[in-house]
Amino acid sequence: EAEIPDLIGQSVYYVRKEDKRSLLRHVIQHNDIGHALVFTRTRHGADRVARDLNRNGIPAEAIHGDKAQNKREKSLRGFRSGEIRVLVATDVVSRGIDIDRLSHVINFEIPQEPATYVHRIGRTGRAGVKGTALSFCSDEEKQYLADIRKEIHREITIVRDHPYS
Protein backbone atom coordinates (compact mmCIF):
# COMPACT_ATOMS: atom_id res chain seq x y z
CA GLU A 1 0.00 0.00 0.00
CA ALA A 2 1.34 3.38 -1.02
CA GLU A 3 1.65 6.11 1.59
CA ILE A 4 0.29 9.48 0.54
CA PRO A 5 0.55 12.34 3.03
CA ASP A 6 -2.73 13.79 4.31
CA LEU A 7 -1.44 17.19 3.23
CA ILE A 8 -2.04 16.29 -0.43
CA GLY A 9 -5.56 16.89 -1.73
CA GLN A 10 -6.37 14.75 -4.76
CA SER A 11 -8.91 15.46 -7.49
CA VAL A 12 -9.70 13.97 -10.88
CA TYR A 13 -11.26 15.65 -13.90
CA TYR A 14 -12.90 13.35 -16.44
CA VAL A 15 -12.25 14.85 -19.84
CA ARG A 16 -12.00 13.86 -23.50
CA LYS A 17 -8.42 13.37 -24.59
CA GLU A 18 -8.70 16.14 -27.20
CA ASP A 19 -9.92 18.65 -24.55
CA LYS A 20 -7.04 18.14 -22.10
CA ARG A 21 -4.98 21.15 -23.20
CA SER A 22 -8.02 23.43 -23.01
CA LEU A 23 -8.85 22.03 -19.57
CA LEU A 24 -5.27 22.62 -18.41
CA ARG A 25 -5.42 26.28 -19.47
CA HIS A 26 -8.80 26.65 -17.76
CA VAL A 27 -7.62 25.06 -14.51
CA ILE A 28 -4.46 27.16 -14.35
CA GLN A 29 -6.31 30.39 -15.10
CA HIS A 30 -9.29 29.81 -12.79
CA ASN A 31 -7.91 27.96 -9.77
CA ASP A 32 -5.40 30.42 -8.35
CA ILE A 33 -2.47 28.22 -9.36
CA GLY A 34 0.75 30.14 -9.03
CA HIS A 35 3.10 27.30 -9.90
CA ALA A 36 2.39 23.85 -11.27
CA LEU A 37 4.43 20.83 -12.21
CA VAL A 38 2.58 19.10 -15.06
CA PHE A 39 3.35 15.50 -15.99
CA THR A 40 3.02 14.07 -19.49
CA ARG A 41 3.81 10.57 -20.69
CA THR A 42 6.11 11.59 -23.55
CA ARG A 43 8.73 14.21 -24.39
CA HIS A 44 6.78 15.17 -27.49
CA GLY A 45 3.67 15.62 -25.33
CA ALA A 46 5.59 17.80 -22.87
CA ASP A 47 6.80 20.04 -25.69
CA ARG A 48 3.29 20.31 -27.16
CA VAL A 49 1.70 21.20 -23.80
CA ALA A 50 4.38 23.84 -23.01
CA ARG A 51 4.00 25.38 -26.48
CA ASP A 52 0.22 25.56 -26.08
CA LEU A 53 0.48 27.23 -22.65
CA ASN A 54 3.00 29.81 -23.90
CA ARG A 55 0.82 30.58 -26.93
CA ASN A 56 -1.98 31.31 -24.47
CA GLY A 57 0.03 33.63 -22.24
CA ILE A 58 1.00 31.15 -19.52
CA PRO A 59 4.81 31.03 -19.13
CA ALA A 60 5.82 27.36 -19.39
CA GLU A 61 8.87 25.21 -20.13
CA ALA A 62 9.14 21.56 -21.05
CA ILE A 63 11.79 19.56 -19.21
CA HIS A 64 12.74 16.09 -20.42
CA GLY A 65 15.58 13.82 -21.50
CA ASP A 66 15.99 15.41 -24.94
CA LYS A 67 16.91 18.74 -23.34
CA ALA A 68 20.55 19.40 -22.48
CA GLN A 69 21.34 19.42 -18.76
CA ASN A 70 22.13 23.16 -18.79
CA LYS A 71 18.74 23.88 -20.44
CA ARG A 72 16.95 21.76 -17.82
CA GLU A 73 18.76 23.61 -15.03
CA LYS A 74 17.89 26.97 -16.59
CA SER A 75 14.21 25.93 -16.74
CA LEU A 76 14.29 24.84 -13.10
CA ARG A 77 15.87 28.14 -12.04
CA GLY A 78 13.19 30.05 -13.96
CA PHE A 79 10.49 27.95 -12.32
CA ARG A 80 11.90 28.46 -8.83
CA SER A 81 12.22 32.22 -9.39
CA GLY A 82 8.63 32.50 -10.64
CA GLU A 83 9.60 33.58 -14.14
CA ILE A 84 8.17 30.29 -15.44
CA ARG A 85 4.74 29.41 -14.07
CA VAL A 86 4.40 25.86 -15.34
CA LEU A 87 7.04 23.18 -15.70
CA VAL A 88 5.94 20.33 -17.99
CA ALA A 89 7.94 17.18 -17.28
CA THR A 90 8.22 13.52 -18.15
CA ASP A 91 8.59 10.97 -15.36
CA VAL A 92 12.22 10.11 -16.11
CA VAL A 93 13.42 13.68 -15.62
CA SER A 94 11.10 14.35 -12.68
CA ARG A 95 13.09 12.02 -10.46
CA GLY A 96 15.75 14.71 -10.21
CA ILE A 97 13.34 17.57 -9.58
CA ASP A 98 13.15 18.84 -6.03
CA ILE A 99 11.13 22.02 -5.63
CA ASP A 100 10.25 23.52 -2.27
CA ARG A 101 6.70 24.66 -1.61
CA LEU A 102 5.24 23.32 -4.83
CA SER A 103 1.49 23.86 -4.51
CA HIS A 104 0.19 21.89 -7.52
CA VAL A 105 1.05 18.73 -9.41
CA ILE A 106 -1.09 18.03 -12.46
CA ASN A 107 -1.23 14.64 -14.14
CA PHE A 108 -1.98 15.71 -17.70
CA GLU A 109 -1.99 11.98 -18.43
CA ILE A 110 -2.70 9.26 -15.90
CA PRO A 111 0.39 7.09 -15.41
CA GLN A 112 0.06 3.37 -16.12
CA GLU A 113 1.79 2.42 -12.87
CA PRO A 114 0.27 3.37 -9.50
CA ALA A 115 3.80 3.81 -8.08
CA THR A 116 4.47 6.49 -10.70
CA TYR A 117 1.32 8.32 -9.59
CA VAL A 118 2.43 8.20 -5.96
CA HIS A 119 5.88 9.48 -6.92
CA ARG A 120 4.47 12.32 -9.03
CA ILE A 121 2.05 13.64 -6.43
CA GLY A 122 4.69 13.28 -3.72
CA ARG A 123 6.39 16.32 -5.27
CA THR A 124 3.82 18.46 -3.43
CA GLY A 125 2.60 18.46 0.17
CA ARG A 126 6.11 18.59 1.61
CA ALA A 127 7.57 20.14 4.74
CA GLY A 128 4.17 20.64 6.36
CA VAL A 129 2.78 22.67 3.45
CA LYS A 130 -0.50 21.61 1.83
CA GLY A 131 -0.39 20.46 -1.77
CA THR A 132 -2.88 19.68 -4.51
CA ALA A 133 -2.72 16.87 -7.05
CA LEU A 134 -5.03 17.14 -10.05
CA SER A 135 -5.43 14.39 -12.63
CA PHE A 136 -7.00 14.57 -16.08
CA CYS A 137 -8.57 11.23 -17.00
CA SER A 138 -9.81 10.31 -20.47
CA ASP A 139 -11.86 7.18 -21.21
CA GLU A 140 -8.71 5.33 -22.31
CA GLU A 141 -7.12 5.99 -18.89
CA LYS A 142 -9.97 4.95 -16.59
CA GLN A 143 -8.41 1.56 -15.90
CA TYR A 144 -5.13 3.19 -14.82
CA LEU A 145 -7.09 5.37 -12.40
CA ALA A 146 -8.94 2.32 -11.04
CA ASP A 147 -5.58 0.62 -10.43
CA ILE A 148 -4.28 3.73 -8.64
CA ARG A 149 -7.37 3.90 -6.41
CA LYS A 150 -6.90 0.25 -5.45
CA GLU A 151 -3.28 0.87 -4.59
CA ILE A 152 -3.58 4.05 -2.54
CA HIS A 153 -6.79 3.28 -0.57
CA ARG A 154 -7.68 6.96 -0.57
CA GLU A 155 -10.56 8.91 -2.01
CA ILE A 156 -9.90 11.01 -5.09
CA THR A 157 -12.48 13.78 -5.42
CA ILE A 158 -14.22 13.96 -8.80
CA VAL A 159 -14.47 17.50 -10.16
CA ARG A 160 -17.62 17.73 -12.26
CA ASP A 161 -17.88 21.49 -12.44
CA HIS A 162 -15.69 22.33 -15.42
CA PRO A 163 -16.36 23.35 -19.03
CA TYR A 164 -15.02 20.10 -20.55
CA SER A 165 -16.87 17.49 -18.50
Dist. CA 84–CA 58, nearest whole Å? 8
Chain segment 135-154, per-residue pLDDT in tens: 999 999 999 999 999 999 88
pTM score, whole prediction: 0.94
Chain segment 9-68, per-residue pLDDT in tens: 999 999 999 999 999 999 999 988 888 999 999 999 999 999 999 999 999 999 988 888
